[in-house]
């Protein structure tokens, strides 16, 4: 099997397995939400099919598309110059494919994108309110506030434009798309899933904190320091 086909195989298995993390952490219900990953070295991505139950997702149902969201099942030349062909399922890619594709085209360091409707983060999105950085965990993972992106209709690249415009100037790997829910990015799909899990966790904690009174802000210089340690030292 060619290196490209092996890579597609691996990315499909990873993307499929990561969808199980969305249900494990209760970030989605029914068929809501989606995970995608870039196929390293190629202008290709892998994303879940639209409207399929999480219990029925299998690696071979993950759809390979180009970075405009069009399903593709062959390349005339892989990295070695050889033609490659693979099977795509007879299913449409996720309704958010154009949004994910836009992110990959405009943020070359992003290798994974995730969308959930996790309850607390989506509640903040419904109010169009950014989550203030009042927890060390937020300084660590998000490097500041989790911002709100614009309202955008589903289906074309409007959501993608909102994600890129909002996150380009921020440390945060998460954006709360107004009236919709969180979208997260990462160097790979696993990191984007982690950001989605963390986003829900801090959305819940800050919400509860606000029921008790006004959460205490953290000095921006200390947030930078937390972010730097977590991103560059923690776990090394
Ligand atoms: O909110 C949305 C659409 O943006 C998604 O969460 C959908 O609910 C899931 O759509 P598919 O990925 O199954 O098309």
137 vs 160: CA distance, rounded Å: 26
- d(CA 94, ligand 1 centre) in Å: 6
Residue percentage of the chain with pLDDT more than 70: 100
Lowest mean per-residue pLDDT among 15-19, 66-70, 166-170: 166-170
Is residue 28 classed as helix, strand or coil in its secondary structure? coil
Backbone angles phi, psi at 4, to 5 degrees: -65, -45
Mutate to test the pocket of ligand 1, among 22, 23, 31, 180 (most ligand atoms within 8 A of CB): 31
Say what the pLDDT of residue 98 is: 98
Number of domains in the chain: 1
CATH of the domain at 212: 3.40.225.10
Which of these, 234, 211, 233, 215, lies nearest to 145 by C-alpha position? 215
- Beta strands 74-75 and 181-186 are unpaired
By residue range, what is the domain housing residue 196?
A: 3-232
Please identify, by atom number, the ligand 1 atom nearest to the C-alpha of residue 47.
12
- d(CA 220, ligand 1 centre) in Å: 35
Backbone angles phi, psi at 159, to 5 degrees: -65, -45
- d(CA 142, ligand 1 centre) in Å: 24
Please identify, by atom number, the ligand 1 atom nearest to the C-alpha of residue 33.
6
Say what the pLDDT of residue 1 is: 75
**Average pLDDT estimate for 202-206:** 98
**Average pLDDT estimate for 24-32:** 98
Backbone angles phi, psi at 74, to 5 degrees: -160, 155
70 Cα distance to chain centroid: 19
- d(CA 31, ligand 1 centre) in Å: 7
- Beta strands 112-115 and 34-39 are antiparallel
Tens digit of pLDDT for each residue in 105-118?
999 999 999 999 99
172 vs 194: CA distance, rounded Å: 13
**Average pLDDT estimate for 204-224:** 98
- d(CA 34, ligand 1 centre) in Å: 7
Tens digit of pLDDT for each residue in 113-139?
999 999 999 999 999 999 999 999 999
Which residues neighbour 95 within 8 Å (Cβ) at sequence distance 6 or greater?
A: 50, 154, 155
pTM confidence score: 0.98
Mean predicted lDDT score pLDDT of the chain: 97
Residue closest via CA to ligand 1's atom 9 equals 32
């Amino acid at each position: 099997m060619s290196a490209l086909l092996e890579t597609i195989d691996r990315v499909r298995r990873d993307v499929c397995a990561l969808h199980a993390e969305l249900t494990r952490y209760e970030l989605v219900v029914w068929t809501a939400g989606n995970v995608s990953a870039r196929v390293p070295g190629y202008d290709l991505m892998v994303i879940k099919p639209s409207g399929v139950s999480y219990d029925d997702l299998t690696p071979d149902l993950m759809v390979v598309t180009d970075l405009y969201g069009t399903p593709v099942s062959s390349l005339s030349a892989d990295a070695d110059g050889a033609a490659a062909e693979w099977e795509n399922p007879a299913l449409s890619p996720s309704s958010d494919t154009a949004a994910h594709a836009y992110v990959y085209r405009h943020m070359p360091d992003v290798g994974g994108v995730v969308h959930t409707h996790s309850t607390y983060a989506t509640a903040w999105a419904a109010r169009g309110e950014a989550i203030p950085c009042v927890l060390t965990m937020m300084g660590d993972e998000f490097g500041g506030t989790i911002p709100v992106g614009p309202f955008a209709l589903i289906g074309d690249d409007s959501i993608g434009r909102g994600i890129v415009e909002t996150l380009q100037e921020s440390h945060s790997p998460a954006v709360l798309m107004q009236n919709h829910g969180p979208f997260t990015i990462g160097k790979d799909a696993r990191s984007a899933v982690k950001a989605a899990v963390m986003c829900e966790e801090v959305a819940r904690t800050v919400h509860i904190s606000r029921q008790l009174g006004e959460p205490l802000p953290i000095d921006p210089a200390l947030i930078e320091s937390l972010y730097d340690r977590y991103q560059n030292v923690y776990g090394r």
